[in-house]
Structure 1
Amino acid sequence: MAETAVGLVVDHLIPMLTQEASLLRGIHSQVVDIKDELQSIQCFLKDADRKAEAESHHTRKDGVKAWVGQLREVAFQIEDAIDKYMFHMGQLHDHGGFLASIRKITRSIVKLKARHDIASDIRGIETKVRKIKERSSRYGFDSLHNQQGGNINPTWYDPRMASIFMEEDQVVGIESDRDKLVVSESYDKKELLRKVMDKFCQTTTMESNIPARNGGVDEEIQIISKVREHLKNKRYVIFFDDVWKIEFWSDIEHALLDNNMGGRIVITTRSLDVANFCKTSSDVHVHMLKPLPSEKAWQLFCNRAFHFQFGGSCPPELENYSCKIVERCKGLPLAIVAIAGLLSTKEKTVNEWQKLLDNLGSELESNPHLSSISRILSLSYDDLPYYIKNCYLYFGMYPEDYSIKCSRLIRQWVSEGFITSKKDKTLEEVAQQYLTELMNRSLVQVSQVNYCGKPRECRIHDLLRDMILRKMEDLRFGSHYFPSNGSSFSEKTRRLTIHSSSQIHITNKKYSQVRGMLIFKSDLSDVTDLCETTFCATFKLLKVLDFCGAPYLKHLPGDIGALFHLKYLSVADTRVKELPSSIRKLQNLETLNLKGSMVQEVKSSQISRLHKLRHLVLTRGFGIGGIRLFKRFGCVALQKLYDVQFRDDIEELKKLTQLRKLGITGLRTTHEWSVVCECINEMRHLQSLRVGGIRGILEDVDLGSISPPPELQSLLLEIRVRKLPEWIIKLRNLVKFEIRASGLIDDPLEVLQHLPNLVVLIMADHPYDGEKLQFKQGMFQKLKHLELVCLFELNSLVIEEGALPTLELLILSFFSQSEYGSWWHSTSEKP
């Protein structure tokens, strides 16, 4: 974690401080020195973190773990110093201005004090960094980067070893697996090939004539030649278990040739990147293992827990607790075998089973048999690049079994400063790459996909979450607070998840370092219930504030504008009706999520100065006014604006050239439509577009004047059009097309069939002039979702053989226009 904390400081905070240092006389050199020292330390921090973890059970006073902890604390102090300085400076630039001379004098005095304070902090931090660097040399920690991670030999019990010697009738769910050849997390290429050669010598009469170690290229070539010679004209199957590095295949492929006799190589890995890399140079089949189904998980548990008693069957009085324990393992064989193995040594009583279930989290850490599970799972975390580790720890901020929206998680990562910018990519796109990597490493599970099969929601395995929670507490990353259970949290915690509306008795100073707060309590109605003092004064360094888990919240703090650092604010799915006027002061706000709230209008005075706002998510629904654009609209960095209504200042939309998602409703005139077309033509990054007019007012618009954005993936038209434009066939990336209230006169399928990647097609709520829709052979080879609703004049639908081969969902409903009017009238009156 020191690697992560220091990396964050070097990548993000030090550059910011370096820019400000031109204003901080006398400390510029100290800032540069701190950066140089941290960069020199950073190169071996990953191995130091790993060794500190290995020392966790027998740490000496000045060991690696203590040294790593000291370095982490310094990184946190740098972050605190910078954020506090920027907070004070930000308070002095209230856009309301200082009209009186006395206020100008006061501002100058406060500014000088803030500069003096940070100068003092920086000098103290520089001294600490130098001492830490000296200690690293004294104890030899700075030589760790010359060691291979695999040389830090584990001293813990590894339950995976038991699988090698398991009897065949004990294998459950993976019956086709056989003996495995283990490869460590880190390895030397030549030594790996030597070990393979040794295995051949042990199992055959082959002479152990392995070339001598000389460290040269010739040695490697000789070993490869020797292995190839042995395998020539032989049938063989070789297993490599738990491979981590993508270079592994390139290291062994020339030695373990796939000959005509049927030689086979089987590699198991937790990383999809490893599997994909193997596919680049040979004919490889990738088999994705899934968690054990419930019946297999239960069978494995009983075989292990009751192997020597009860004939491998669970006694009736233990079934309830056993089922809960198995459910907690979520189909993970490693966990099932280890926990069942531990229970096999216990008395078969309800008390023993209940005790383990209630204390499973602590048992995983303290019990030598179960702690090995945590350490095995930690290997995946330790192997992550430092810039992704914080992102993964953030999953621990959510409740157990919580399915997290990917977009929500990504925006929180960005707001926390975890994402490093890359050329030609938005921060959100980089964050999406990070999330995909975590999924490819099997550290994150996809719990829901969108219409085109991309992840919409995700979660983590309970045991991985337990591992994360322990690291969060140990590293001061974050804490969960349950006042009703009498729980508490460290004064030094940097993030807080609250599970109660009970007051947290906090003073203004003790918890000022909290950067993120997530609320998951249904009965919270007012923020004043969270704190006995002023909320915003207590948590003045907040960057993320998420009330999505508090559906009965009615009000935000009136002084929320005092949260200078706030970048992410969500009142989604709450009862908040209006935003405080002070929200205009949140000059660093990047995400404002109002979806599902009762906010019906965002006033111009509230957001016109939020120049960094990137995501403005509004409610789409009956009776909701949305947002109105206005002159001097300042949110030019917006990437998402959904939904928006226009009035007299529709031209302001032209400024929003960075939009990725746009929803426009309430268009009334052909002038408004033409302006919208001009604006859309300038949005070259647009991926999702919804356009809606007022039914009965804006009729028969011309779509031909739009030049479609090349990256458009989703298009929703809620306006009356008579004919689809030819430019639609140019949208090669379009996966979803929805059209409502159109009144088409031509068969739309003749145009839409040219969209090769269309997955979702919805046509609804309009009088279709044609009487028949015909899906001809070969049409829509990727379409999964087809919805035809209320096409008033349609009386015939034909789907020929060979059309729609991948269709999964078909929704059909037909009304005459008079019937539809009666249905709408009756249903609209219902609550």
Structure 2
Amino acid sequence: MEIVTGAIPSLLHKLGELLVGEYNLQKEVKGGIIFLQAELESMQGALEKISRTPADKIDDQDKIWARKVREMSYDIEDNIDKFIMQCKGWKTTEQHSFKEAIARTLKWFRQPKIRRKIATEIRGIKSCVIEVHERRSRYEVSLGVDKPVTVDPRLFAQYTEVKELVGIGEARDELINKIFIEENEVPLKQGRIVSIVGFGGLGKTTLATAVYKKIRAQFDCYAFVSVSQTPDLKKLYNDLLYDLGKSINDEALGERRLIEVLREFLADKRYFVVVDDVWDISVWKMIRCALPDNDVGYTIITTTRISHVAEQAGGAYNMKPLSLNNSRKLLYRRIFGNGNKDNNEAEEKCHEELDEVSDRILKKCAGVPLAIITMASLLACKARDKMEWYEVYNSVGTGLENNLDVENMRKILSFSYYELPCHLRACLLYLSMFPEDYKIGKDRLIRMWIGEGFIQCEKAGKSLFKLGESYFNELINRSMIQPIHNSRDDMISSCRVHDMVLDLIRSLSSKENFVTVVSNMGGTSPPNTIRRLSLQNCQESHVMAQAT
């Protein structure tokens, strides 16, 4: 079962088992199962197509239909499981008592009754599937109205003044030193490539922009382009040419011709290019075709959230979180303003009463600038009162806070979520079962995924656990979970979910009724149908609010 397609993948397998298994099904029932298989396969394809679209861009009718199909698939699976269990019965023990023998005999007599019941159930399920299909067609509306254009919140990072940033100067200078030290070590014709890699919201674009503005004047030509998850390469090549200062008269050039124009133009120039937000190594390779090696030298900076993309692009530079001191500066500056520049110590000093809660908030943010700025925006409109700040502190991580800045933060982080394959999304959302800062054992987690049916082995003989390990490693590679190494052998033995990622997946899980979390911190009422329930006692983190 998974968040995208509900129980459909495992349900299709079970329906196939009913057809080939020795259940002595009536002819009508077999026909109904074949019909259900075909319908559910089509629905699965539609759900997967919908899943590739961010939630804010999906039509409301499609959202309702997708939710209905997922809930229906869970209900159908429950009925099928019940029938299979009744037919197979419980595994008998080695020693069979007289009572058990009587029970097995009675169960054997009840088999025809069970088969008649499943025939009735299949007819009801078939009617339900048809109704869901027809309802979508009945209420489908196509007005031809364009959806409102949404602004990518990451865009603002490119135009933020350096004076507004905290701690960026140190990282900028370190990266510039890395670039120019390598210039003396690497032959000019090879040039230099640096790939900034890190968690969403860590400030990769901000750092790349700061470096770009600082050193671009030292090159013959320079360009800054963003790739995104669904790149238009033709537009990207045109943007490169525009930034580099190469004008072309024929705007109808194809991708191949644009690559040739770029290569010819850059062949004898010392150029500097920033390629921001790379998600796919194959896309990077296409861009790289347009950026030639030459005898003059060049510098290319890429940014990505995915470790293996940075490693293959070359020169991986792991973005570091802000230090505690810089985190405090950023938080206080955002809440209390810059004030008098000659009185920085006074303007950034928070009231002693707020020191403890401030440190807790910063620990939750873990040095991620996006998280600190989001928390500051929530606190800025609150009184300078310890209890009000604790209320904000306790709300983050629950997925329940609905502030514009929180929504923007979730949107930025959700780009990583929607880039995940379907099977990894379910595995990630399942982590919302665990409390914040919880140390999740790798082996235990993989077994839980297997038990839930998230890991489906398509190749015979391949271990489900080994496949689960590859899922776990891929989530680390995509910066969605934080690895924890064993002190004895330095092997990864467990993981932790960043509080801001936990906030995102809690929000998504709640909307899709994937996981229901009930804690002593309150929140929304549980839904009528609970698929997975997590009972959490958050007393330690909630202690200050409990004390008054």
TM-score by length of 2: 0.77
How far has the Cα of 1:440 moved from its partner? 0.2
Cα deviation, 1:409-461, whole Å, max 9, x if unaligned, reads 11111121111113442000000000000000000101223644331011110
Partner of 1:181: helix, strand, or coil?
strand
Give the structure 2 partner of residue 161 of structure 1.
155
The one-letter code of the counterpart of 1:408 is R
Report if the CA contact (8 A) 1:414-1:428 is conserved. yes
Distance apart, 1:97 and its partner CA: 4.7
Taking a change above 3 Å as real, the CA distance of residues 93 and 4 of structure 1, as seen in their structure-2 partners, is: same
**1:394 — aligned with what?**
430
- Structure 1 CA distance for aligned equivalents of residues 408 and 266 of structure 2: 37
Provide the C-alpha distance between the structure 1 equivalents of 2:238 and 2:141, rounded to a whole number of angstroms: 31
Contact preservation (8 Å) 1:445, 1:460: yes
Report if the CA contact (8 A) 1:21-1:27 is conserved: no
Change (3 A) 1:330 1:483: closer
Q: Offset at 1:9?
A: 3.1
Q: Aligned equivalents of 2:18 and 2:149: distance in 1?
A: 41
Distance in 1, Cα, partners of 2:380 & 2:411 = 22
Match of 2:544 in 1: none
* Distance of 2:208 and 2:532 partners within structure 1: 45
Describe the superposition over 1:286-335 as per-residue Cα deviations: whole angstroms up to 9, x where unpaired: 12223323223222223333334475513224333322222221221211
Name the residue aligned to 2:275.
240
Tell whether the 8 Å contact from 1:211 to 1:222 is kept in structure 2 after alignment.
Answer: no
Could you tell me which residue of structure 2 aligns to residue 185 of structure 1? 229
Distance 1:35 1:499, change over 3 A: same
Q: Would you tell me which structure has more strand in proportion to its own residues?
A: 1
Q: Alpha-carbon deviation of 1:7?
A: 5.0
3-state secondary structure, aligned to 2:84: helix
- Is 1:69 the equivalent of 2:67? yes
Q: Distance in 1 between matches of 2:322 and 2:386?
A: 26
Q: Which residue of 1 aligns with 2:15?
A: 14
| Contact kept in structure 2, 1:448 and 1:456, CA below 8 Å | yes
When residues 238 and 343 of structure 1 are mapped into structure 2, their CA distance, relative to the original with a 3 A threshold, is farther
| Residue from 398, 401, 409 that aligns with 2:445 | 409
Task: Give the aligned partner of residue 125 of structure 1.
Answer: 125
Q: Is the Cα contact below 8 Å between 1:329 and 1:336 reproduced in 2? A: yes
> Is 1:337 aligned with 2:381?
no
Q: Is the 8 A contact 1:98 1:104 kept in 2?
A: no
Change (3 A) 1:400 1:19: farther
Where does residue 504 of structure 2 map in the other structure? 467
CA distance in 1, matches of 2:521, 2:159: 47
Q: Is the 8 A contact 1:241 1:267 kept in 2?
A: yes
Residue equivalent to 2:31: 29
Measured at CA, do residues 407 and 241 of structure 1 come closer, stay the same or move farther in structure 2, by a change above 3 Å? same
- Same amino acid, percent of matched pairs: 31
Q: Is the contact made by 2:330 and 2:373 (CA closer than 8 Å) also made in structure 1?
A: yes
Question: What stretches of structure 1 of length at least 5 have no aligned partner?
Answer: 143-150, 214-218, 279-283, 501-519, 523-831
What's the CA shift for 1:248?
Answer: 1.4
Question: Are the aligned partners of 2:382 and 2:388 in contact in 1 as well (CA < 8 Å)?
Answer: yes
Q: 2:194 is matched with which residue? A: none
Q: Give me the whole-angstrom Cα distance separating, in 1, the residues matched to 2:11 and 2:107.
A: 31
Residue aligned with 1:253, SS:
helix
CA distance in 1, matches of 2:378, 2:519: 30
Q: For 2:380 and 2:290, locate their aligned partners in 1 and report how far apart those are by CA, in whole Å.
A: 44
Structure 1 CA distance for aligned equivalents of residues 51 and 10 of structure 2: 17
Query: Could you say which structure has the larger radius of gyration?
Result: 1
State the SS of the aligned residue for 1:257. Answer: coil
Instruction: Tell me, yes or no, if the aligned pair for 1:183 and 1:240 is still in contact at 8 Å.
Output: yes
Determine the C-alpha separation between the residues in 2 that align with 1:32 and 1:269.
45
How much has 1:236 moved relative to structure 2?
A: 2.2
- Between the two proteins, the alignment pairs up a number of residues equal to 476
The one-letter code matched in structure 1 to 2:483 is: V
After superposition, residues 101-180 of structure 1 pair within 5 angstroms as 103-136=103-136, 155=150, 158=153, 160-175=154-169, 176=172, 177-179=207-209
Structure 1, residues 231-287: CA drift from partner, whole Å, max 9, x if none? Answer: 222222222222222321122111012333221222111112322443xxxxx2112
Structure 1 residues 248 and 174 mapped into 2: Cα distance closer, same or farther (>3 Å)? farther
CA-to-aligned-CA distance 1:162-199 (integer Å, 9 cap, x gap): 32122223333443124263322212322322232233
Q: Distance in 1 between matches of 2:324 and 2:465?
A: 37
- Correspondences of 1:499-510 after superposition (within 5 Å): 499=536
Relative to structure 1, is the Cα distance of residues 448 and 104 closer, same or farther in structure 2, using a 3 angstrom cutoff?
closer
Distance change (3 Å), C-alpha of 1:141 and 1:408: farther
CA distance in 2, matches of 1:184, 1:139: 34
The equivalent of 2:262 in structure 1 is 227
CA drift of 1:118 comes to: 3.0
- 2:483 paired residue number: 446
Cα RMSD of the aligned pairs, angstroms, is 3.3
SS of residue matched to 1:442: coil
Give the corresponding residue for 2:249.
209
**Matched residues in 1 for 2:141 and 2:7: separation?**
16
2-structure distance, mates of 1:446, 1:458: 4
Partner residue in 2 for 1:685: none
Matches of 2:104 and 2:12 in 1, distance apart?
35
Aligned-partner residue type, residue 163 of structure 2: D
Listed as ranges, the gaps of 5+ residues in structure 2 are: 173-206, 210-223, 541-548
C-alpha displacement of 1:378: 1.7
Task: Work out the CA distance in 2 between the residues paired with 1:478 and 1:388.
Answer: 16
Question: In 2, distance between residues paired with 1:141 and 1:27?
Answer: 35
2:202 aligned partner? none
Displacement, 1:52? 7.3
**Pairing partner for 1:287 from 317, 324, 328:** 317
- State the Cα deviation string for residues 347-390 of structure 1 (Å, max 9, x = none): 55556534433433578741112211112212212221111222
Tell me if structure 2 keeps the 8 A contact 1:55–1:65.
no
Cα distance in 1 for partners of 2:408, 2:33 equals: 42
2:86 aligns with 88
The answer on whether the counterparts of 1:364 and 1:371 sit within 8 Å (CA) in structure 2 is: no
Could you tell me how far apart the structure 1 residues matched to 2:232 and 2:297 are? 28
Secondary structure of the structure 2 residue equivalent to 1:195: helix
Q: Does structure 1 conserve the Cα–Cα contact (< 8 Å) formed by 2:4 and 2:47?
A: yes
Secondary structure of 1:319's partner? helix
Amino acid at match of 1:340: A
Contact 2:335 2:380 in 1 (8 A): yes
What code does the residue aligned with 2:80 have?
I
Instruction: Describe the SS at the equivalent of 1:418.
Output: coil
3-state SS in 2 of match to 1:172:
coil
Which structure is higher in RCO with an 8 Å CA cutoff and minimum separation 6? 2
Q: One-letter code of the match for 2:132? A: I
For 2:350, the aligned partner's letter is P
- Is the 2:483–2:496 Cα contact (8 Å) retained in structure 1? yes
Change in Cα spacing, 1:80 to 1:473, as seen in structure 2 (3 Å) is: same
8 Å contact from structure 1 (residues 388, 434) kept in 2: yes
3-state SS of the aligned residue for 1:237? Answer: strand
